[in-house]
Structure 1
Amino acid sequence: MSAPPQASGATGLGQRARRPLGRWWRRQSPARQDRLATLAPLASVLLFLAAIISAFWYLRNEEIEREAEAVKRDAEIAQQQIRLRLIEDQEQLVRLAREFATRELDPAEFSQQAGGLASDRPEIARLVWLGTDQRPRARFEPAGERDDGAPRAGATPPGTERSPDLRTEAEWAFIAARDLRQPMYSRPFKDRHGTLVFQVHVPMLARGHFVGALVADYGIDVLMRHFVPSEVTRRHAVAVLDEHQAVLASTVTPMPGKAQQRASIVHEVPLAPASNGLLLRATGYRTSVGLIGNALFWLVVALSVLTVWMLLGTWRHMRRRGQIQDALVQETNFRRAMENSMLTGMRAIDREGRVTYVNPAFCAMTGFTEAELIGRLPPYPYWPHDRVDENHRLLQQQLQGRSPAGGIEVKVARRNGSLFDARMYVSPLVDARGHQTGWMTSMTNITEAKRIRDQLSASHERFTTVLEGLEAAVSVLSVQQGELLFANRSYRLWFGADARGHGLLASGSAQGQAAPEPEDVDGFGGLPAQELAGLGTDPREVYAPALDKWFDVRSRYLQWTDGRLAQMLIATDVTARRRAEEQAALQAEKAQVSSRLITMGEMASSVAHELNQPLTAINNYCNGMVSRVKAGSIDNDGLIAALQKTAKQAERAGQIIHRIRAFVKKSEPQRVPAHAKDIVEDAVELASIEMRRRNVQIHHYVAQRLPVLKCDPILVEQVLLNLLKNAAEAIDNAKMPAARRHIELRVVPRHTPEEGGVIEFSVTDMGPGLPEEVIGRLYEAFFSTKAEGLGIGLSLCRSIIESHRGRIKAQNLYNGPNVSGCRFAFTLPVETTARLEETPLAPSPDGTAPDAGSSSAEKTSP
């Protein structure tokens, strides 16, 4: 009898599924098959235990869900009962409110109808008829309650008006019912008896107007006692909660002084239709035992653990049997991994020097295959032909165990004949019984490393050669230890081999005779090296008295090769330059004096003419007095007057000679406090002689209350005189008309962002101006626009002004496209707090305000 078609198809499918599984099983090793055969029962027991636990967990969760559904259902039943009762009461109250509003009732009739309503409704604790002013017009209370005249909830005492912050819950409900024209429930509160109640306010409307409210008090505890079904209270605890989760009433009375156990199943619903924040909560507790208390569960767990323990014992026994096989497999895998991953060439030889093992890296280095090397005796094919004897000696040294621990550097020949440098390390091969069977050699290609090392050595040699050949002293000092780390030949020649010279150059004084402390070298001692590396200081010049030399010192911080913070100094001998600068300063001083002599030489004829006038007057006065004395026509008063005039003219000639002598006197430059007004007056007095000779007028203006200058007044006077003389020559040589033969000298204070507070001296003429190509070369030495000029005047002026930390500039003045004159101006820095006078200063004629409240003083000289 043949099998049904479906059965035969299922059998064929099962066979096809078992074939791949069988092939996979046969591919596994015996040790793995034993391990899997042991783990399969263990997995089955664990799966069985997991299934039992899952079944218990599922049944327990299903029971919890049933209990939760029961709690929810009971809560909704209690909610429905209370809701229906409240809706019925609300409808009756609305009917009564409508009846009371349409016809006038006296308190007796109100009590009769209210009593009829409350007779079968125990939940209503009191009925009150409130007027529009919230005063009770009539009230009804069940029998047994006494009206003691205390104010009722919802009523406002006569003659008082509550603020919104002091209104009660009943008053808020009354206001809401009045405004919304619909029944409103108040939030729970305690009445005069201390009972928790809430009210319903039903508005009374007469022809659309609010005429009062009918108020009913509900006792929360009465609602719970009468309208929660008894079958619900037998199964679960039901409680009423306010909006703050405080229990107002409950079907279960808690034990006093004992914390109530937290319910595991809770369901809350609102106390409809009140909508006043009250919640109805039903709670339940699980009665079923858990997994811990189930004896059947623990029996299954114990049997499963026993089975697992037996299977683990069997697996441990089988593992011990496979340890030897695993050790062999691990050894094989280790050797294979080492051969395939190492870049270091490995070679093993026996006690006779026969090659017994080489790894792929060794074959790749030499170019020979493993078959060509295994079993070979010396000489090996990778030995260079010219080094066979040396390699034999090294091999004998290896076989005798006398190879150095640091390795041996050898030359190795590749199959193609090329050579490379290698370092070989030798270690003994010991078998399991502790007997040495040979030697293991590791070989590393160091060709590139040796090339880099040779390059670094050559670079270091070149660097040392350059530093030793420098004419500057180079030294490196450790900041922390004060140790001299490096010094070149020039440093050793000048300062020796200790750190005192470095300390002298770093501190700039010759007092440090011992090795400086880290703090003496620089204030950066102790800071992290990474923060200071690369940080340099400004170059400075230091004088070494012992050597009588000046050094230009430049320093910077660097991180030394061992990580320490170090300071490097480069000191260049600048003694010759300092001597040249001193000589140049002397020459400049001589040039200043020479310039003044040249200026006075050019003004010699004018000075002679100026002196000729007082001398001629003296001669005339003397001749006149002699004639009148001889003639006897002069009295004492006339003689005294003539002698006074003669003395005045002699004093005038003496002043002229004294001023010229002071101007051309050779003296050292001296920076002294000076007043701009005195400098200008002296310069104008000297220049007036030249001005009169050339028929040029000079106007000078000096602002009042100017700060005191710290300068050499003779040098500044020389600059002013040079500028005034050049302006007069430009006007006279250009044959300018009388209307343009004027020079203006102005001295005013200025303040610029670049220079700060300065005093500006400006000389403005009305001459032909300067060509544009000449302005850029005015201050070049020996450049002059005059045929007989030497070209040192303006160059010297610029040097004088810049030595006083000032600036000088020249510019043409324009009247439209035409040049109307030239203006030279220079500035001298001042201390703005120093003032000469306390008189106010007037604004300058060009629109500049020299100082607040200042005045001007202007003079004109021919």
Structure 2
Amino acid sequence: MLASTLGTMPSSSLIPLAGPEKLTPPARLKRWWQRLAPQRQDRFAVLAPLVAVVLFLAAIVAAFGYLRLEEIEREQEAVNRDVEYTQQRLRLRLLERQEQLMRIAREVSNRELDADEFQSRAEAIVNQYPELESLSWIDNRRNVKASFGSVSLAPHLVKKIGSTLEPGESVSSYNLARELQQPIYAMHAAGANSPAVLQLHIPFSDRARFLGVLLAEYSIDGLFRYGVPAEVSARYAVSFHDANGGLLAGTSIAPRKPGARLLPWDKPVNFYEVPVSPVGNGLIIRAQAYRASLGVVGSGLFWLVNALSLMTAWMLIANWRHTRRRMQAQQALISETSFRRAMENSMLTGMRALDLQGRITYVNPAFCRMTGWSEPDLVGRTAPFPYWPEADIDSLSSRLQEELAGKIQSSGIQFRVKRRDGSLFDARLYVSPLIDAHGIQTGWMTSMTDISEPNRIRDQLSASHERFTTVLEALDASISVAPLGSDELLFANKLYRLWFGTEAGGHLQLVAEAGVPATPTSDDSLDPVDAFAGLPTNSLPDSDPESAELYVDALGKWLEVRTRYLSWVDGRLAQMVIATDITARRVAEEQSAAQIERAQTASRLITMGEMASSVAHELNQPLTAINNYCNGMVSRIKSQQISEDELLGALEKTAKQAQRAGQIIHRIRSFVKRSEPNRSPSNIESMVDEAVELVEIEMRRRNVRLTHYVAPRLPVLLVDPILIEQVLVNLLKNAAESVDAAQRPTAQRSVMLRVAPTQVDDKPVIEFAVLDSGQGLAPEVMARLYEAFHSTKAEGMGIGLSLCRSIVESHLGRMKAENLYNGPDLTGCCFSFWIPMIEVLPPKARLPAGQANDNQGHPSKT
């Protein structure tokens, strides 16, 4: 620490004042110590012994730790060496038994031993080596040919001659020995009634032909008792484990969980384990040294030294903390005094102290800056003070007497103050008694604040409020604000008072008729706590306003009512209602609707006017037929060359032609007749048939083939059938004109009307599509397709498609147009619109019997 402190000192402080030689290290240290402040010398004087004790304790702990690590390392080396020795003993023992058993296997392979001789040899070997439990001869079909077990083996575990090798691990080891043609060691796990055993499979072979195996089973307990040296088991806890860590034999001090891998920091002291060769990882020998002594850490000397060192360090720390607290208290007192003085000097509020006689005893810098007078000019002065205006001296003198008598209110007093340069400003003065440390009042403490700016802002706010109120009063909309759950009217402008008066009834009437959810009222409305307390009113101004249009009978006006919630100035939740007179707009909308209706009727009349010649030609055919039938019957009757049956047949044909002419005239009258929109459950197929019959004359005149398809089992639509027929007639007529204008050959002059259900935005709709083989739509035409009074035909008025789209949108549908392509070639155009499905009663329950049909769609051609 001393060296680091010396290193941080400037180099100039180490240069001697006189003499050519530099100071020696002790001289430098002495000089550095003399330059330290007394407080820092005390701190270093306390810390030096503490550091020495801590270093001594660290050295003792390091020495004992080093000795302990040396002891653990020696014990670990001993454990490793003894475990390796035990493993070698077990390995040699197993290899010796393996050699003897392989000789028997070769004799069996060479057919030098039969089953009886094998039985005798097995009995001799099992009785000679106690770790062997049984020997079995198993042929290539896994049948036990000969077997012998030790007397200690349970009868049910002895393999019976003629039995088959049990499935499981034994069979897998048997197959492995058969494939590899080498001895195979395998651990057989313990069962419910059988202990774990070590199996050795030695294959029999005759010229690469597999004859079977010699199965030897070792007792794990026998291997442990006769394979582990006695001196090793006396010093260590030796145990055998399987590959999963399960205990097979021996004693384990710190057994681990099955299947858990032992981490390096989890290993106990003096612990070692190795797999037993040639078995492999299936059999692991583990050893851990018994703890016979406490070691150096457990000795009494170690703990005695630690206790004394800690006690010494604790006493030094306690002494240092006591000294530090005393120095901190002293420093805090100095800092507090300095802080209070700095706070008084930096305050923007002027502070002034008066004694009981009214003499100024103290002023802070802020008071001097406000008045322009210095502290020497003010301290010791009595009334009248130099910052009093001459015109206010009498009133301020009386206020001073009230101040000295303690009669000034806690809210303070407001008066004018004169600066040294003669300018005036408004100030507010607060007075409180000045109490000394003994609780005795020695005078009065006053604080003065410049309120010129707040007064200016207050005047501006008043003027702004007046202007705001003037604007609201002049608005041509009614504005009212009322709290929720109360009949109180918080604000109402001039137009509201003109319409509804000064009560909240008009406000509540507008809220109720506009459909805004009513707020519940309770008996707690007189409670000073708002019933809606706790609602997030700070987010209410950001909410979307609700609007509605309603007719007020008392005023005879249409009003657009908009409402929104807001937090009033007193924190209550209120509702603002803005009502605007929209009577003129509603009248204009009604007139516009009437004009649109008249335009629709005119469009139908124009359409029928364009088709007049074709209609006349169509009517000429039934009228000519009627005339011919009548003339023929008259001539044949006169010549008496007609029978009664022939006369009836001719009359029936005449009646059919007359009925056909009447149907044509009725259909035309229904189409062009002006009527109010009448939405009713309408059959889709009937509407399509009516439209097709109206335009088939135009189609034949222009030599265009019309094909229509109506999907089967379509529902009934709630529409105005005449308007929908008008849309279809206009689209079909436009399609025929487009095909005729394109000059297509006869085979390609076709128009297709298709009606089928579909999905739009996951909603079921009925789609009407008109496909033609005409010349399509140019991009500039597509952009202005539905624009009113825009037409590509010389004689067109430009209102047909605009009216069609208006009719479709009035039925909550949509209309679109797109060109049809066959690769890069333009092959025609498709106009389509859809009407949403609305559930109505079935057609047969709604429509007259004559109009009901099976509603089966079918294609037809005209």
TM-score by length of 1: 0.64
> Residues 496 and 165 of structure 1: is their aligned pair in 2 closer, same or farther, counting only changes over 3 Å?
farther
What residue is the counterpart of 2:582 in the other structure? Answer: 574
1:278 correspondence with 2:250: no
* SS of equivalent residue, structure 2 residue 442: strand
Paired residue for 1:843? none
Query: 2:405 & 2:446 partners in 1: Cα distance?
Result: 14
| Correspondent of 2:411 among 402, 406, 418 | 406
> Which structure 2 residues correspond to residues 806-821 of structure 1 after superposition, within 5 A?
none
Query: Structure 1 residues 93, 573: closer, same or farther in 2, change over 3 A?
Result: same
Conserved? CA contact 1:127–1:214, under 8 Å: no
Instruction: Show CA shifts across 1:761-800 (max 9, x none).
Output: 869899999998899598647999889x999888777765
Q: Distance in 2 between matches of 1:465 and 1:381?
A: 46
Aligned residue for 2:31?
19
Asked if the contact 1:240–1:281 (Cα under 8 Å) also holds between the matched residues in 2, the reply is no
| Distance in 1 separating the partners of 2:105 and 2:580 | 118
Give matches, 1:661-672, under 5 Å: 667-672=675-680
Give the conservation status (yes or no) of the 8 Å contact 1:407–1:425: yes
- Per-residue deviation at 1:277? 0.9
- Structure 1 residues 198 and 399, CA, compared in 2 at 3 Å: closer, same or farther? same
Deviation at 1:279, TM superposition (A): 0.9
8 A contact 2:695–2:732 mirrored in 1: yes
1:749 match: 755
Residues of 2 paired with 1:157 and 1:317: CA distance? Answer: 95
After superposing the two structures, state which structure 1 stretch, 59-68 or 419-428, moved more.
59-68
1:344 CA drift (Å): 3.2
Deviation sequence 1:53-81 (CA, Å, 0-9, x none) = 76876676567556645643553464355
> 1:23-172 residue pairs with structure 2 within 5 A?
23-24=35-36, 27-28=37-38, 44=49, 61=65, 65=69, 68=72, 71-72=75-76, 74-76=78-80, 78-79=82-83, 81-83=85-87, 85-86=89-90, 89=93, 125-126=131-132, 158-165=162-169
Structure 1 counterpart of 2:835, from 826, 829, 849 = 829
- Corresponding letter in the other structure for 1:855: H
2:602, 2:797 → 1: CA distance? 11
1:437 and 2:442 correspond: yes
Deviations 1:26-69 (A, max 9, x none): x337xx988998x67xx858975x68876876676567556645
Name the residue aligned to 2:260: none
Q: CA deviation at 1:85?
A: 3.9
Cα gap change, 1:687 to 1:356, in 2 (>3 Å): same
Residue 749 of structure 1 and its aligned partner are, at CA, apart by 1.9
Do 2:768 and 2:834's aligned partners in 1 also have CA atoms closer than 8 Å? yes
Q: CA RMSD in A?
A: 7.2
For structure 2, list consecutive stretches of 5 or more residues without a partner in the other structure: 1-20, 254-266, 523-531, 845-853
Residue 332 (structure 1) aligns with: 337
**One-letter amino acid of the counterpart of residue 541, structure 1:** E
SS of residue paired to 1:855: coil
Counterparts in 2 of 1:15 and 1:202: CA distance versus 1, 3 Å: farther
Q: Quick one: distance in 2 between partners of 1:14 and 1:819?
A: 108
**What is the rounded CA distance, in whole Å, between the counterparts of 1:649 and 1:184 in structure 2?**
111
Alpha-carbon distance, 1:757 to partner: 3.7
1:742-766 per-position Cα deviation (integer Å, ceiling 9, x unaligned): 9998754266877974564869899
Aligned-partner residue type, residue 488 of structure 1: N
Deviations 1:596-646 (A, max 9, x none): 7899999999999999999999999999999999x9999997999899999
Q: How many Å separate the matches in 2 of 1:83 and 1:268?
A: 12
Moved more, 429-438 or 501-510: 501-510
Give the C-alpha shift of residue 442 in structure 1: 3.4
1:260 is matched with which residue? none
Other-structure match for 2:261: none
Q: In the alignment, is the contact (CA less than 8 A) between 2:273 and 2:287 conserved in 1? A: yes
Give 3-state SS (helix, strand or coil) of 2:542's partner. coil
C-alpha separation between the residues in 2 aligned to 1:249 and 1:819? 95
What is the alpha-carbon distance in structure 1 between the residues aligned to residue 563 and residue 134 of structure 2?
102
| Structure 1 residue 339: Cα displacement | 3.6
Q: Deviations over 1:180-220 (max 9, x none)?
A: 85796968989x9x999868889999999999779695875
In the other structure, the counterpart of 1:543 is 551
Change in CA separation of 1:160 and 1:420 when aligned onto 2, cut-off 3 Å: farther
Counterpart of 2:858 in structure 1: which amino acid? S
* Structure 1 residues 411 and 225, CA gap change in structure 2 (3 angstroms): farther
- Given that residues 514 and 549 in structure 2 are in contact (C-alpha distance below 8 angstroms), is that contact kept between their aligned partners in structure 1? no
1:855 aligned partner: 858
Equivalent pair of 1:549/1:575 in contact (CA under 8 Å): yes
- Measure the CA separation in 2 of the matches of 1:633 and 1:210: 124
1:491 aligns with 2:503: no
SS at 1:536 equivalent: coil
Shift of 1:20: 2.6
1:469 to 470, 474, 481: 474
**CA distance in structure 2 between the partners assigned to 1:174 and 1:128 by the alignment:** 20
What is the CA-CA distance between 1:577 and the residue it aligns to?
2.5
Deviations 1:339-377 (A, max 9, x none): 46x543342322255443344555566666555554455
Aligned mates of 2:196, 2:624 — CA distance in 1: 135
**Correspondence for 1:344 among 330, 341, 348:** 348
Contact persistence 1:467–1:488 (CA under 8 A): yes
User: Structure 1: how far apart are the matches of 2:656 and 2:130?
Assistant: 134
CA distance in 1, matches of 2:204, 2:659: 127
- Paired position in structure 2 for 1:425: 430
What SS class does the counterpart of residue 476 from structure 2 fall into?
coil
Partner of 2:241: 242
SS at match of 1:336: helix
Alignment of structure 1 residues 662-741 onto 2, 5 Å: 667-674=675-682, 703-704=709-710, 708=716, 710-713=718-721
Query: Distance between the aligned counterparts of 2:731 and 2:404, measured in 1?
Result: 101
Change (3 A) 1:123 1:227: farther
Q: Could you tell me how far apart the structure 1 residues matched to 2:62 and 2:818 are? A: 105
Larger deviation: 370-379 or 427-436?
Answer: 370-379
**Partners in 2 of 1:187 and 1:623 — Cα distance?**
121
Q: Report the residue type matching 1:22 in the other structure.
A: Q
Q: 1:130 to 1:401 in 2, by over 3 A?
A: same
Q: Distance in 2 between matches of 1:214 and 1:726?
A: 100
The CA deviation string for residues 637-696 of structure 1, in whole angstroms up to 9 with x for no partner, is: 79998999999999899878877776776654433344567667778888999999xx87
Change (3 A) 1:432 1:111: same
Counterpart-to-counterpart distance in 1, 2:617 and 2:118:
141
CA contact (8 A) 1:46 1:304 kept: no
Q: CA deviation at 1:336?
A: 3.2
Q: Which amino acid aligns with 2:284?
A: G
After TM superposition, the structure 1 = structure 2 runs for residues 275-424 of structure 1, keeping only pairs within 5 Å, are 276-287=283-294, 297=304, 308=315, 329=334, 332-339=337-344, 342-351=346-355, 352-362=357-367, 370=375, 374-375=379-380, 395-409=400-414, 423-424=428-429
Number of paired residues?
790
**8 Å contact from structure 1 (residues 556, 569) kept in 2:** yes
For the 8 Å contact 1:224–1:250, the answer to whether it is kept is no
Instruction: Report the residue type matching 2:76 in the other structure.
Output: K
**Structure 1: 5+ residue stretches without partners:** 1-8, 253-262, 519-523, 838-850
